Homo-oligomer: A and B are copies of this chain.
Amino acid sequence: MSANANRALVLKEYPVGAPGPEHFEIVESPLPEPGAGEILIRSIYLTVDPYMRGRLRPGPSYAEPQKIGEVMIGEVAGEVVASQSDRFAVGDYVKADIGWQTHGIANAERLRKLDPKDASISTSLGVLGMPGLTAYFGTLEVLIPRAGDTLLVNAASGAVGSVVGQIGKIAGCRVVGVAGSDEKCDFITRELGFDAAINHRTTDDMSAAMRDACPDGIDCYFDNVGGPISDAAFENLAMWARVGICGQIAQYNDTEQAMGPRNLRHFLVKRASLRGLLVFDWQARYHEGLDRLTRWVQEGRIKYREDIIQGLENAPGAFAGLMEGKNFGKQLVKIGDDPTR
């Protein structure tokens, strides 16, 4: 590898079922040079996120599919190494949408500059980035938590779920998390202040476990997962419950249509509501969300945990592990030196 080369992970083929390293390859190319108004970024952190699975198929979703033979999409936190823009100087830190590669060019106009004094630059991909904003707007605008409500969230130790639960606590709710290991359950109750946790891998009767943990029923349900966890949550909805559908990771790797109980009658009986949510729809209000989340992080009211894997070549494996819940906290891939810590 030349110091003047860019290394990029390119999609070779669409995965059928679980994604893995075999679906990507590393391609080297000369370092590009920024044009007028552009900057060259050296990537420090990549992010892997569940939504990416939806891009790895040719069919329609809410966004264009990832193209075969092109650099895998995604945001990075990195350092400006060349600038043709007044907005950025060499040595500045930035978050940009340049995909899974060591270097990339971006138009500087709307990029977010990162101040390492505010928070680690890696947080721009997690608690102070898309996942945190998803939690912020999804919780406050869709679940509309009222003090005294019971809020249930799954994938509760993850990048989105951990913030949902902590916002629920700030909003005065009883917060119950569903997570995939005893360690994760301990983390969300002991470190993050959740009131109760349910380990979905060791719980035989999920509905009964939720009934125990949510004796007054579930007023707010933030769903990242779908599948049997949602079946149980729907059985335990309180009157007038609000459900936010943020993700359905239980189904993302499916190769056949998954089946489940026809259970929408619970919404009728409880006059509950459900809404699909996507953070992009609140783009005009990102500044509001970032301001509050930054303050809460600085005050220690929102804690976060990162799970950092080293090396560009390990990004596909990190992504595959994320889809199976192997990460513990926000999954990042560090592909360059971080001078800020």
Contact = CB atoms under 8 A, between A and B. Distances in A.
Interface string A251-294: 10000011111101111111111111110010000000000000
Contact of A275 (B245, B261, B272, B277): B272
B264 A275 contact: no
Contacts of A120: none
A199 interface: no
A265 to B, nearest CB: 5
A61 B262 CA distance: 16
A251 B245 contact: no
A246 interface: yes
Interface in A224-263: 226-227, 230, 245-248, 250-251, 257-262
Contact of A267 (B257, B258, B266, B276): B276
A271 B61 CA distance: 11
Given A61-B269, A271-B275, A272-B275, 6 more contacts: A226-B262, A227-B262, A258-B262, A270-B276, A273-B273, A274-B274
Interface of A: 61-62, 223, 226-227, 230, 245-248, 250-251, 257-262, 264-278, 281
Nearest to A254: B262
B267 A245 contact: yes
A267 B259 contact: no
A156 B261 CA distance: 25
A86 to B, nearest CB: 37
Contacts of A248: 262, 264-265, 268
A271 B281 contact: yes
A291 B163 CA distance: 48
17 contacts: A61-B269, A62-B269, A223-B264, A226-B262, A250-B262, A251-B262, A258-B262, A260-B262, A264-B274, A266-B276, A267-B275, A268-B276, A268-B278, A271-B275, A271-B277, A272-B276, A273-B276
Contact of A247 (B62, B250, B268, B271): B268
Name, among A247, A250, A268, the residue most crowded by chain B CB atoms within 10 Å (CB to CB). Answer: A268
A275 B274 CA distance: 6
A250 B264 CA distance: 12
A233 to B, nearest CB: 12
A227 B269 CA distance: 17
B281 A276 contact: no
Contacts of A264: 223, 226, 230, 245, 248, 274, 276
Contacts of A275: 267, 271-274
A247 B258 CA distance: 24
Contacts of A257: 261-262
Contacts of A267: 245, 274-276
B271 A273 contact: no
A65 to B, nearest CB: 13
Given A226-B264, A264-B226, A269 B259 contact: no
Most buried by B among A260, A266, A278: A260
A82 to B, nearest CB: 39
A337 to B, nearest CB: 37
A260 to B, nearest CB: 5
A245 B272 CA distance: 10
